[in-house]
Structure 1
Amino acid sequence: MKTENLETHPSTESTSETIPSSTAIKSRFFYGWVILFLAMAASICTSPGQTFGISPFNPSLQEALNLTSTQLSTAYLFGTMIASFPLLLIGPCMDHYGIRPTMLAVVFLLGIGCLFTSFVNSGILLFFAFLQLRLWGQGALSLLASNALAMWFHRRLGFVSGLMNVGMAGAMAVVPMFNLWLIDNVEWRGAFRTWTGILWLGLIPCLWIFYRSRPEELDEVPDSHAYLNLLDQREAASPQKKVKTPRDWTLQESFHTRAFWGLLALNAGWAMIATAIIFQIFPFLESRQFTEETGEVMFLWMALSMAIAQFIGGWLSDRAPLNWLMFVGAAGLTAGTFMLWGAATELQIYSFAWVFGAAQGLIMAVGNTVWARYYGRIHLGKIRGINWSACVAGSALGPFLMGVVYDFLGSFDLSLLLFAGIFGVITLGMPFATQPRDPEETLEKEAIA
């Protein structure tokens, strides 16, 4: 089994030592840019399972199924929570079968989930609908789209991740309005069927025809031979700038590193709190006497700041210490939550959106880079799969917690203060989430000393 795995997934080092084909050498076009476009498209198509994609349907679901806010939130809670468990299998499937077949299967199943949702007529069936949407959309497809870039880029991973996340920020601005337009024109059931058509007739053919799991399939290496040759020339002139390729850590080895648990806490906490705020934002604005239009403008500002921060954060991820970038992002989430707690004017709401969106954008940009940089490519699916399951579980707990606090106290203030406190603690731990040291390398240095 071990030999078979190595043959299926060759390491970067062994591949770089082989002589590429003449076609690969002569071609100036790196196929990784096609993968970037496909990963961006896949990321945008996670929208039916994302909170910002589901929230426009909430009033229609409550009215059609005769549900209270608590019943709707409970279905969302358990659907999302249970989705986090089978999600643990997606990473190993990606590592064993490759991203292409796994992603094709996931997109097909997400389409089934959208189709199923269009036929629900009770709270129980809505729970199963949320389970499918959150598992295949927000969970599996998001994981595969972000890991796709890590297979094709290393030195430029931060930059291309920033580009992909700009597309996701655009989806956050456009998809809620698109879903509302669909609801107005074809009703909510027709809207979900439209998403099935987009997935099956749009995304699946593109992935089937153009997607490739790894650059080695095209006699290439991550970042391309041409780019690495250029870097080799630069590093020969400036040896101090040479960047070392990370070793490939196993899942069990990653458990023994401080960075793994720091990153897990950051992502799970962010998923829990950001999802809660976005899911409950319209009830919150109503409780503060703001109009629905304020929420729509707020989402536009948040998406804009997120896009800018993702692009800049991706560029910085290739140049700055990742643990300090995560520290800045976590501090921004803490500050943004405090700002929402104290917001009393539209300007303060928009200021919150700007700060909170920028912090999320920075964390997303670093998050798509840090796992591959810290732990390598070979076992990336398993390692990120654990993290993604924790994120999905956190995103289930947050909205429920915020809703329960409001039901008991008639205010969101206590939950926002609690969230800010959690972010504050996580922020203090981020400087310690440094790149893990290779134990063998450490032993060699100690032996030499």
Structure 2
Amino acid sequence: MTKNWANIPFSPGKWPFFYGWMILIWGVVGFVMSIPGQTIGVSVFTDSLIDVLRINRDQLSLAYMFGTIGSSFMLPWAGKLYDRIGVRPVVIVAGLGLGLVLVFFSQVDDALAPFIRKEWEIGVILLMVFAFLLLRFFGQGVLTIASRNMMVQWFDKRRGFAIGFANVAISLSFSSSPVLLYVMIENFKWSGAWLVMAGIVGIIFPLFAFVFFRNRPEDSGLIPDGAVLKAKKDKRNLFPFVKDFEQMEAMKQYAFWIFALMLAMQGLFITGFTFNVLSIFEEAGLTEADAITIFQPAAVIAVFVTLISSNISDYVPLKYLLYVKGIGSCVAIVGIVLLGQTSYAYYLIVTGMGVFTGLYSVINTLVWPRYFGRKHLGAISGQAMMMVVFGSALGPLLFSGSLSQFGTYAVACWVCFGIYLFLTLGSIWANNPQIGLARGLKTPSGELKPSN
């Protein structure tokens, strides 16, 4: 992005205060626009799709899985495109694309009417695979990568503190979205709700992004954290930066895989749970209202976890947060297994979910620039996001398959528990590679040598 393009239609350098604080707000907007493509945004329409398409839950989960897997393989390319052309072109195209996909979903019963019969069942599933691929690619994939990376670019030393506020807003938005979507469905029916979202995401948001989104502070003569562009040494930086890792270099690091796999497991678990949440609570003898309202108290806990972890993340190794995240996930899983058997199960789910959802955005936002630098941030975070989305593709089918094959969701839960436990123990060695490099570059006086 050229300097002139960065200053159209206005220059962030002329904003009355550091524009990075506004970038946090715009980044939250970008995340909110991705909700229709997130599992939490799709889940409230699941039963409607099953009814109008006349397919069963396993078949819809299968279409969702393959569509999500297909979208995941496109995300590394999207990340590299972000590095090359910047945030505004990427989110504008993603918004337009997501809007068009939502129009299709709003008319899916009419669009697929000729195929909605038993002999064309496979055709319906294949068409839904393609529709879910685009929905997940533009929504969960591109919009979240671009919005998150844009916010990260504008902060360095104060990154954890600053991003914490954005993460709180994102958590609250996501947790309250099922209730809002249900209200929209009650007022506009399921097709009308999708059509309203299509207008917001596909028309209003691209115009908004063109005006306010910006890629990097350096493009407008600023530097991260808010200062005039100039070299400045800050001895308070507890996490030294030595080099920008390229994508393949980052993928050779043990820490990359531990962090990416832990985040991918959340994608798998939370999508499996959310996609089947009504059925999970029904199996436990609880109501639909119980299922939907569980997200709100979890969000309250997530807010506190996000604020606390964001503030301390500027002073502690990120792998410590990974330990807590793994433990919180295991607690939530035990709660789901015990749901309907004891009143404590509800609180275990709420507490565990609050912890791991509150930490997810903090870790996913901070680890890639801190461990591997900002230059290839799109490519590296895109590769990690591919794994997250791939994991989220497996979740719904794992949970629905557990119910259909074993008559309970407990089998899927214990599989997730075992993987989480393994990754949590593996997090002990997930150290920051920049610190290792810095130690090798220090002079006897303790100053860093210039790096190549």
- TM-score bin, normalised by smaller chain: 0.7 to 0.9
Please name the residue that 1:120 is paired with.
108
What's the CA shift for 1:107? 1.2
Residue from 24, 41, 49 that aligns with 1:61: 49
What's the CA shift for 1:74? 1.2
What's the CA shift for 1:283? 0.8
Please name the residue that 1:352 is paired with.
349
Q: Alpha carbons of 1:298 and 1:446: their partners in 2 closer, same or farther (altered >3 Å)?
A: same
**Alignment pair present for 1:306 and 2:294:** no
Please name the residue that 1:105 is paired with.
93
Q: Deviations over 1:341-375 (max 9, x none)?
A: 12324542133122222222113212201111111
Q: Alpha carbons of 1:412 and 1:440: their partners in 2 closer, same or farther (altered >3 Å)?
A: closer
Q: For 1:135 and 1:241, locate their aligned partners in 2 and report how far apart those are by CA, in whole Å.
A: 36
What's the CA shift for 1:172? 2.2
- The one-letter code matched in structure 1 to 2:61 is S
Q: Which moved more, 1:48-57 or 1:265-274?
A: 265-274
SS of the residue 1:153 aligns to: coil
Correspondences of 1:366-405 after superposition (within 5 Å): 366-405=363-402
Please name the residue that 1:75 is paired with.
63
Residue from 42, 46, 51 that aligns with 2:30: 42
Correspondences of 1:24-423 after superposition (within 5 Å): 29-121=17-109, 122=112, 123-124=124-125, 125-225=127-227, 239=235, 244-343=240-339, 344-423=341-420
Q: Which moved more, 1:435-444 or 1:291-300?
A: 435-444
Q: Alpha carbons of 1:313 and 1:96: their partners in 2 closer, same or farther (altered >3 Å)?
A: same
Q: Which moved more, 1:157-166 or 1:378-387?
A: 157-166
Q: For 1:252 and 1:8, locate their aligned partners in 2 and report how far apart those are by CA, in whole Å.
A: 27
Please name the residue that 1:424 is paired with.
421
Q: For 1:408 and 1:441, locate their aligned partners in 2 and report how far apart those are by CA, in whole Å.
A: 52
CA contact (8 A) 2:247 2:380 kept: yes
Q: Which consecutive segments of 4 or more residues in structure 1 shift more than 6 A? A: 226-229
Q: For 2:163 and 2:434, locate their aligned partners in 1 and report how far apart those are by CA, in whole Å.
A: 24
CA contact (8 A) 1:158 1:366 kept: no
What's the CA shift for 1:98? 0.9
Q: Which moved more, 1:109-118 or 1:371-380?
A: 109-118
In structure 1, list runs of 5 or more residues that go unmatched. Answer: 1-6, 10-22
What's the CA shift for 1:318? 1.2
Q: For 1:258 and 1:36, locate their aligned partners in 2 and report how far apart those are by CA, in whole Å.
A: 30
Bigger helix fraction = 1
Q: Alpha carbons of 1:163 and 1:441: their partners in 2 closer, same or farther (altered >3 Å)?
A: closer
- The one-letter code matched in structure 1 to 2:195 is R
- The one-letter code matched in structure 2 to 1:304 is V
Q: For 2:139 and 2:230, locate their aligned partners in 1 and report how far apart those are by CA, in whole Å.
A: 35
Q: Alpha carbons of 1:402 and 1:50: their partners in 2 closer, same or farther (altered >3 Å)?
A: same
- Give me the TM-score of the superposition, normalised by structure 2: 0.87
Q: For 2:434 and 2:140, locate their aligned partners in 1 and report how far apart those are by CA, in whole Å.
A: 32
Q: Deviations over 1:234-263 (max 9, x none)?
A: x5xxx5666533421111211221111111
Q: For 1:354 and 1:228, locate their aligned partners in 2 and report how far apart those are by CA, in whole Å.
A: 45
SS of the residue 1:309 aligns to: helix
CA contact (8 A) 1:36 1:164 kept: yes
RMSD over equivalenced CA pairs, Å: 2.6
Q: Alpha carbons of 1:408 and 1:200: their partners in 2 closer, same or farther (altered >3 Å)?
A: closer
Q: Which moved more, 1:348-357 or 1:58-67?
A: 348-357
SS of the residue 1:30 aligns to: coil
- The one-letter code matched in structure 2 to 1:83 is S
Q: Which moved more, 1:239-248 or 1:38-47?
A: 239-248
Q: Alpha carbons of 1:407 and 1:283: their partners in 2 closer, same or farther (altered >3 Å)?
A: same
Please name the residue that 2:7 is paired with.
none
Please name the residue that 2:118 is paired with.
none
Q: For 1:146 and 1:136, locate their aligned partners in 2 and report how far apart those are by CA, in whole Å.
A: 14
CA contact (8 A) 1:280 1:403 kept: yes
Report the identity percentage.
Answer: 31
Q: For 2:344 and 2:436, locate their aligned partners in 1 and report how far apart those are by CA, in whole Å.
A: 51
SS of the residue 2:222 aligns to: coil
- Give me the TM-score of the superposition, normalised by structure 1: 0.88
What's the CA shift for 1:328? 1.1
CA contact (8 A) 2:402 2:409 kept: yes
Q: Alpha carbons of 1:447 and 1:314: their partners in 2 closer, same or farther (altered >3 Å)?
A: closer
What's the CA shift for 1:49? 0.7
What's the CA shift for 1:447? 11
CA contact (8 A) 2:242 2:434 kept: no
Q: Alpha carbons of 1:212 and 1:75: their partners in 2 closer, same or farther (altered >3 Å)?
A: same
What's the CA shift for 1:307? 2.1
Q: For 1:242 and 1:291, locate their aligned partners in 2 and report how far apart those are by CA, in whole Å.
A: 49
Q: Which moved more, 1:74-83 or 1:346-355?
A: 346-355
In structure 2, list runs of 5 or more residues that go unmatched. Answer: 4-11, 113-123, 446-452
Q: Deviations over 1:107-158 (max 9, x none)?
A: 1111111112112234333322211111110111111111111111111211
- The one-letter code matched in structure 1 to 2:22 is V
Q: Deviations over 1:182-214 (max 9, x none)?
A: 222222111111111111343212211111111
Q: For 1:437 and 1:218, locate their aligned partners in 2 and report how far apart those are by CA, in whole Å.
A: 28
CA contact (8 A) 2:176 2:295 kept: no
